[in-house]
């Protein structure tokens, strides 16, 4: 492992600013690391070395006073997002040979801000599911234990970070796709409020369930990347014309005064190892002087709401079901069919219940600075298991129920983050989830930085893959 791989993205940026490094050197280091470890972990099956090097040389030739924000830091883009001239498959055989002619706004913004795309990170088919495997590239595995899953759907992104292939990674999140891989890989997975990171143009501009966000090895790097992803975009109705400098939140980190915590979000199953991890994390808050109160948002309707609204999203893919049923994985078929069976009454009821949940969440954060809970019910499991159908003796009816700790929070539109918390006795990562009120990414990053600085139960990354 090259020594520079061990540096944070912020440290790398400082070296670039001080002319101690060139972007072309970083691209070479990143590509060498991908060749070294990706045959083992399968995090980034598509790379674009010529394109990356061309971009690096362009940044090098730019006057130092005009250098873009990231100054030439290599990063990965999730394979649900189009990159001009680079194979983009959505993890589906239907698009296994697709080469976009234009980059998504997310890629345009990151590249204009000095991020260098070196490759596409692996994802489940169409991002459905929290175990990263597909029929195009196969499964991604955890650098912590190559028999375990990295989670999903931003699993390749998280694995590319923890193994040191790149310094930053983009991801997206509907039911936990940034946070679950963050927990399973011991990196930061940050889900912003809708519109903080703009998307579009698209056929569902008012969708507030799915968002894009940053992944990084620490909180400061997460803030750095979030700065490079934000900004107004006229094709996103939730887009914001002004956002703060999120690095200030990290540099001026503060301790939350009143912290609500919940082990089970209202009675959901939880692996004892995750409970133990949360107990350790709560002691971190105690050492910081925060007041801890066991309390939770009323999420009793969350299971019903997410099933309806998630299925409604998938109903838009009805054409794929009609024309390509045999090429879709069973979980996607189930989602689409469930969406097509919905009635207007069911959709209206789900929307009303979500409105009630949003209002209850706003009232909750009038009392507390922060809500703390598990990110996932369990530590990483064997990669051969498609999804969990049972936890602690509780059997599930479908493949999304085990994602409850993340998809229930999605419904609130609150920014939330999974932070590295601790490890099991056999060395598997466990994350902790922080939530603040809607559009308060600034305080969320500030509280996260304070926790990270005081938490001694996590291990520094990157690492070499382990059997």
pLDDT, tens digit (0-9, with 9 covering 90-100), for 391-450? 999 999 999 999 999 999 999 999 999 999 999 999 999 999 999 999 999 999 999 999
Q: Are 250 and 445 in contact (CB under 8 A)?
A: yes
Count of structural domains within the chain: 1
Q: Which helix (H) or strand (E) holds 51?
A: helix 49-60
Distances (CA, A) of 120 to 113, 240, 246, 399: 18, 27, 26, 26
Alpha carbons 187 and 458: distance in angstroms, whole number:
10
Q: Are 417 and 198 in contact (CB under 8 A)?
A: no
Q: Which helix (H) or strand (E) holds 371?
A: strand 370-374
- Catalytic residue at 67? no
Alpha carbons 325 and 278: distance in angstroms, whole number:
42
Alpha carbons 134 and 452: distance in angstroms, whole number:
34
Alpha carbons 410 and 224: distance in angstroms, whole number:
23
Structure confidence at residue 63 (pLDDT): 85
Alpha carbons 251 and 371: distance in angstroms, whole number:
22
* Tens-digit pLDDT profile for residues 346-377: 999 999 999 999 999 999 999 999 999 999 99
In a domain, 264, yes or no: yes
Q: Which domain holds residue 442?
A: 3-454
Q: Which residues pair with 371 in a beta bridge?
A: 260, 435
Distances (CA, A) of 292 to 88, 151, 203: 45, 30, 43
In a domain, 28, yes or no: yes
pTM of structure: 0.97
In a domain, 460, yes or no: no
- Catalytic residue at 277? no
What letter would DSSP give residue 298? Answer: -
Two structure tokens written together for 60: 């090098």
In a domain, 464, yes or no: no
Structure confidence at residue 461 (pLDDT): 93
Q: Are 178 and 154 in contact (CB under 8 A)?
A: yes
Alpha carbons 185 and 427: distance in angstroms, whole number:
11
Given 30, 103, 142, 153, the catalytic residue: 153
Provide the CATH number for the domain around residue 23: 3.90.1300.10
In a domain, 156, yes or no: yes
Distances (CA, A) of 63 to 43, 59, 78: 34, 9, 30
> Using only C-alpha atoms, what is the Rg of the chain?
21
> Nearest 5°: phi and psi at 422?
-165, -170
Alpha carbons 435 and 267: distance in angstroms, whole number:
19
Alpha carbons 88 and 322: distance in angstroms, whole number:
23
Alpha carbons 100 and 176: distance in angstroms, whole number:
27
The separation between the first and the last C-alpha atoms of the chain, rounded to the nearest angstrom, is 17
Structure confidence at residue 64 (pLDDT): 73
In a domain, 459, yes or no: no
Structure confidence at residue 450 (pLDDT): 98
Q: Are 109 and 125 in contact (CB under 8 A)?
A: no
Alpha carbons 113 and 116: distance in angstroms, whole number:
9
Query: What HEC string does 61-99 produce?
Result: CCCHHHCCCCCCEEEEEECCCCECCECCCCCCHHHCCCC
Q: Which helix (H) or strand (E) holds 348?
A: helix 344-364
Given 76, 78, 148, 183, the catalytic residue: 78
Given 92, 121, 177, 450, the catalytic residue: 177
From first to last of its 467 residues, the chain has per-residue pLDDT tens of 999 999 999 999 999 999 999 999 999 999 999 999 999 999 999 999 999 999 999 999 998 778 889 999 999 999 999 999 999 999 999 999 999 999 999 999 999 999 999 999 999 999 999 999 999 999 999 999 999 999 999 999 999 999 999 999 999 999 999 999 999 999 999 999 999 999 989 888 999 999 999 999 999 999 999 999 999 999 999 999 999 999 999 999 999 999 999 999 999 999 999 999 999 999 999 999 999 999 999 999 999 999 999 999 999 889 999 999 999 999 999 999 999 999 999 999 999 999 999 999 999 999 999 999 999 999 999 999 999 999 999 999 999 999 999 999 999 999 999 999 999 999 999 999 999 999 999 999 999 999 999 999 999 899 999 98
Alpha carbons 342 and 128: distance in angstroms, whole number:
19
Structure confidence at residue 300 (pLDDT): 96
Q: Which helix (H) or strand (E) holds 146?
A: strand 145-149
What letter would DSSP give residue 47? Answer: E
Closest CA to 118 of 89, 83, 92: 83
Q: Which residues pair with 74 in a beta bridge?
A: 116
Closest CA to 38 of 126, 164, 125: 164
- CB count within 10 Å of CB 319 equals 9
Structure confidence at residue 66 (pLDDT): 80
In a domain, 53, yes or no: yes
Q: Which helix (H) or strand (E) holds 292?
A: strand 291-294
- Catalytic residue at 147? no
In a domain, 465, yes or no: no
């Amino acid at each position: 492992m090259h020594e520079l791989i061990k540096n944070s993205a912020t440290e790398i940026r400082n070296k670039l600013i001080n002319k101690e490094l060139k972007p072309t050197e970083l691209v070479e280091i990143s590509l060498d690391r991908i060749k070294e470890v990706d045959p083992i972990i399968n995090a980034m099956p598509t790379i674009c070395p010529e394109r990356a090097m061309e971009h690096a040389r362009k940044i090098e030739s730019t006057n130092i006073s005009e250098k873009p924000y990231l100054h030439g830091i290599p990063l990965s883009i999730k394979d649900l997002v189009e990159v001009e001239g680079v194979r983009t498959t959505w993890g589906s055989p239907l698009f296994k040979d697709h080469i976009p002619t234009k980059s998504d706004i997310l890629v345009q913004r990151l590249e204009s801000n000095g991020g260098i795309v070196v490759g596409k990170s692996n994802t489940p088919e169409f991002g459905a599911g929290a175990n990263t495997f597909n029929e195009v590239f196969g499964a991604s595995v955890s650098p912590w234990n190559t028999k375990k899953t990295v989670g999903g759907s931003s699993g390749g992104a998280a694995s590319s970070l923890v193994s040191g292939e790149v310094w930053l990674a983009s991801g997206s999140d509907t039911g936990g796709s940034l946070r679950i891989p963050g927990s399973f890989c011991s990196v930061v997975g940050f889900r912003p409020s809708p519109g903080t990171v703009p998307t579009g143009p698209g056929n569902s501009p008012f969708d507030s369930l799915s968002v894009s966000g940053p992944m990084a090895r620490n909180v400061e790097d997460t803030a750095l990347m979030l700065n490079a992803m934000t900004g107004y975009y006229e094709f996103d109705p939730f887009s914001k014309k002004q956002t703060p400098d999120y690095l200030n939140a990290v540099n001026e980190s503060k301790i939350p005064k009143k912290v609500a915590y919940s082990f089970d979000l209202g009675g959901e199953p939880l692996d004892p190892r995750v409970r133990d991890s949360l107990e350790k994390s709560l002691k971190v808050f105690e050492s910081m002087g925060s007041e801890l109160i066991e309390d939770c948002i009323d999420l009793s309707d969350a299971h019903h709401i997410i099933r309806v609204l998630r299925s409604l999203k998938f109903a838009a893919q009805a054409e794929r079901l009609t024309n390509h049923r045999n090429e879709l994985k069973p979980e996607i078929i189930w989602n689409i069919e469930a969406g097509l069976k919905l009635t207007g009454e069911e959709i209206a009821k789900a929307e009303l219940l979500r409105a009630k949940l949003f209002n209850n969440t706003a009232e909750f954060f009038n009392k507390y600075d922060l809500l703390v809970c598990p990110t996932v019910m369990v530590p990483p499991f064997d990669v051969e298991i498609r999804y969990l159908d049972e936890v602690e003796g509780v059997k599930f009816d479908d493949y999304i129920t085990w994602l409850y700790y993340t998809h229930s929070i999605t419904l609130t539109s609150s920014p939330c983050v999974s932070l590295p918390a601790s490890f099991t006795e056999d060395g598997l990562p466990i994350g902790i989830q922080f939530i603040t009120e809607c559009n308060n990414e600034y305080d969320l990053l500030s509280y996260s930085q304070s926790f990270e600085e005081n938490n001694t139960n996590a291990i520094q990354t990157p690492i070499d893959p382990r059997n």
